[in-house]
Structure 1
């Protein structure tokens, strides 16, 4: 009888362990949902609770890295992504986010520190692609690094061309975009325009149209930029972060402020929000646009909303103080 009772207790204990695991998984899923919605304060709290119970949870560390990255907190992002990589060294996405975090810090560092960080960026992106050759985001990040970074830290246009050739069979649109960036770096605007157009033809994606629009904006061709952006908006069925990119280009050109406002509001109402364009940053962007148009009351409302989502985000706090 005692043996049977002990067996029952063991089964109950195992069930409790399994249920605990399900709860932690659910919390992890909820934390990711908070992150995608731009609710980074809630995401941070949920992830810190998970990590208090599971300090080796690589996915939770990666998500917390992205929470800090979204708020431009490079050191904290690097710390969390390094922990994620240490606990799951074979995860391509973690390496990609680690490279992005290193890159964020490098962009604000002095030349000596930036030199060492740039090497880490290259290694992380190359490792991400090595681990998953189908990770097109990591390939695009690596391609941009090759284009922008000097050879002394591992950059180079020849490397970028080789990577574009690798991308071509599976990711034709992104490959043409990389070729356009290479041409642009070489001041060959004719080839750059042709490659951006090929990227559009290869996928007819909203992102490709917006890339073309940004190229025209940089070439001081606002009419062509506006045409490409409007076509891209029509192609964006998901209403994702591309809308924010389009609004940003319109604002930088001082073109169609009402359309830019509509795009930002449409994104904020969309279920396709993500940390590609954190909602609190979009709220701040919308607030600045409204303030420029003289609508101080609505701008203040957006600043409050941004600070509510991300209370530690310095630009949101500054906007509240200055409004």
Structure 2
């Protein structure tokens, strides 16, 4: 009898595992709503499946369904209070919800966010993401509700012990947020010298743009292209040239190169390159050329709000 029941149940168990495996693949492919459709009935039948709960929480979180994600992550924490990653994900979902509600409701959530991240960091001395979350939390919170630059720097030091690049980037972020640009630039450059990754280049470029130093931003992107040879960097140069009305010939050349070599891997839709070319022609007071490119952007994406606004500006030339 037991053997008969085993043979009967095996196909059901295999089918369930196939659902779970398929959902995991869909999550990796960023097909979150499709994964959700598989995972919700799976969890209804298997309410205590840990991996299924985590997958479903992730699917909700990626779709910004914070309340649903919080419930799934909280269940994971209740199952295993010693799992740092469960606390981290729970804190992250709570933190994102706090950004969507009014200030008074957010104040009631912040304590739970902090507690979750602190617990994750305590449980796992090597948890980089939890320490990054604490850096951001402590530097962004007002002092009256627990914000602290010194605590943010403490976790940046912990990050630096785990990864010099992360530590330097965290300190650059802290000093930039605290309006100490010289210190911020120093640490962003240290991160770039140490790691040299695309992320390091992007952080320094973003810093220069925020500081309204477009020439430094362009020079940094050019160095990034020399090292990493990514087509998206052509777009970034064109964007800075268009935004700041400088080196327009270089910007146009880069944008045309970006369009010529464009692929989905670039991460920037091609209509944004048309938009930037329209800006460059507008900066030259070339109304005809600007309209040509902005119309191309709108033909590619009809509901392109920024392009509609830009066209109105071009028509006023």
What do residues 41-100 of structure 1 show as CA deviations (whole Å, max 9, x unaligned)?
A: 211012113212211223322222222222222222222222232223333222222222
Q: Which residue of 2 aligns with 1:286?
A: 269
- Tell me the distance in 1 between the aligned counterparts of 2:141 and 2:185: 22
- Tell me the distance in 1 between the aligned counterparts of 2:85 and 2:194: 25
8 Å CA contact 1:206–1:232 kept in 2: the answer is yes
Q: Which residue of 2 aligns with 1:226?
A: 218
Which deviates the most, 27-36 or 119-128? Answer: 27-36
Q: Which residue of 2 aligns with 1:265?
A: 264
What is the RMSD of the two structures over their aligned residues, measured on CA atoms?
A: 3.4
Task: Map 1:48-87 to 2 at 5 A.
Answer: 48-87=40-79
Change (3 A) 1:16 1:211: farther
Q: Which residue of 2 aligns with 1:179?
A: 171
Q: Which residue of 1 aligns with 2:298?
A: 296
Check if 1:198 corresponds to 2:190: yes
TM-score (norm 1): 0.72
Name the SS for the 2:301 alignment partner: helix
Which deviates the most, 290-299 or 189-198? Answer: 290-299
8 Å CA contact 1:206–1:233 kept in 2: the answer is no
8 Å CA contact 1:81–1:97 kept in 2: the answer is yes
What do residues 251-276 of structure 1 show as CA deviations (whole Å, max 9, x unaligned)?
A: 897476567777772156xxxxxxxx
Once the two structures are TM-superposed, the CA of residue 176 in structure 1 deviates from its matched residue by 0.9
Task: Map 1:238-257 to 2 at 5 A.
Answer: 250=239, 254=243
Which deviates the most, 87-96 or 40-49? Answer: 87-96
- Tell me the distance in 1 between the aligned counterparts of 2:241 and 2:93: 26
Change (3 A) 1:291 1:68: farther
Q: Greater relative contact order (Cα 8 A, min sep 6): structure 1 or 2?
A: 1
- Tell me the distance in 2 between the aligned counterparts of 1:195 and 1:168: 11
8 Å CA contact 1:286–1:299 kept in 2: the answer is no
Q: Which residue of 1 aligns with 2:125?
A: 133
8 Å CA contact 1:146–1:156 kept in 2: the answer is yes
Change (3 A) 1:250 1:103: farther
Query: Which structure is larger by alpha-carbon Rg, 1 or 2?
Result: 2
Once the two structures are TM-superposed, the CA of residue 197 in structure 1 deviates from its matched residue by 0.6
- Tell me the distance in 2 between the aligned counterparts of 1:253 and 1:83: 49
8 Å CA contact 2:132–2:159 kept in 1: the answer is no
TM-score (norm 2): 0.73
Check if 1:124 corresponds to 2:126: no
Task: Map 1:4-15 to 2 at 5 A.
Answer: 6=1, 10-11=2-3, 13-14=5-6
Unaligned runs of at least 5 residues, structure 2: 244-250, 276-293, 306-317
Unaligned runs of at least 5 residues, structure 1: 1-5, 269-284, 304-314, 316-323
- Count of aligned pairs: 274
